[in-house]
Amino acid sequence: MAPLRAESAAGGRWMPTTRTGGPSALRLLLLLGAVLKPQESVAQLLTTPSSLESEGETMQEYHERNELCWQNYTSLMDSVKGQWCNWTTISRPYSNLQSCLERNSDHFYLGFPNPVAEQFIFDTHRIHFANCSLVQTTLSDPPEDVLLAMIIAPICLIPFLVTLVVWRSKDNETQA
């Protein structure tokens, strides 16, 4: 399982976060999509001189660039066709979307995540992962013949090992 850490939101609410890396990452992303709402975002815009000058134009251009990321992502997801709940299948398009959103944020000197980028992530979860379940498959007992072999093998091995130890200890007594 990927390492977890918790971050506190502005209202004091704790939210789990993870780095993508394993099959559990999709479950955590789905959980985040279900728990978080865009209006409860912990993300804040970084204010720099360049972002304060023409914030309206900058945000419009930033949103347009993110739309290009979104179009690329949706075309990749449409090619997957129905395997949207399988993390190994969708990890590359999802990571590409996140990477593109991060690059755009860096280009416009905005913090990541920010409300605009988060809205794209939330749309992803709402559109593509809404039907994915967080339920894990239950484990069942192995078949009886496999279980019997797993029980009998160590039982039969014990007398053989005891005999081997006794035989080797008698052999050592003779040499001394």
Distance, CA of 18 to CA of 13 (rounded, Å) = 17
Residue 42 falls inside a structural domain: no
pLDDT value, residue 100: 94
Residue 163 falls inside a structural domain: no
Residue 1 falls inside a structural domain: no
pLDDT value, residue 152: 93
Burial degree of 96 (CB within 10 A; 0-12, 13-18, 19+) = middle
pLDDT value, residue 136: 67
pLDDT value, residue 15: 42
Residue range(s) defining the domain that contains residue 66? 51-130
pLDDT tens string, the chain, 176 residues long: the values are 444 444 444 444 444 444 444 445 555 555 555 555 554 544 555 555 554 456 667 788 988 999 999 999 999 888 887 777 888 888 899 999 999 999 999 998 888 888 989 999 999 888 888 877 766 677 788 899 999 999 999 999 999 999 999 998 887 766 65
Residue 90 falls inside a structural domain: yes
Q: Could you give the number of structural domains in the chain?
A: 1
**Three-state SS at 112:** coil
Place of tokens 């209006």: 39
Distance, CA of 110 to CA of 104 (rounded, Å) = 8
pTM of the model: 0.48
Give the CA distances from residue 121 to residues 49, 108, 129, in Å, rounded to whole numbers and listed in that order: 27, 18, 11
Give the ranges where 36-143 is alpha helix by DSSP (H): 49-53, 55-80, 87-107, 115-128
Contact 85, 123 (CB under 8 A): no
Residue 11 falls inside a structural domain: no
Distance, CA of 30 to CA of 45 (rounded, Å) = 24
pLDDT value, residue 175: 66
pLDDT value, residue 78: 85
CATH number for the domain spanning 125: value is 1.10.150.510
pLDDT value, residue 55: 67
Rg (CA), the chain: 28
Contact 110, 46 (CB under 8 A): yes
**Three-state SS at 122:** helix
Residue 106 falls inside a structural domain: yes
Give the residue from 59, 73, 84, 61 showing the smallest Cα distance to 120.
73
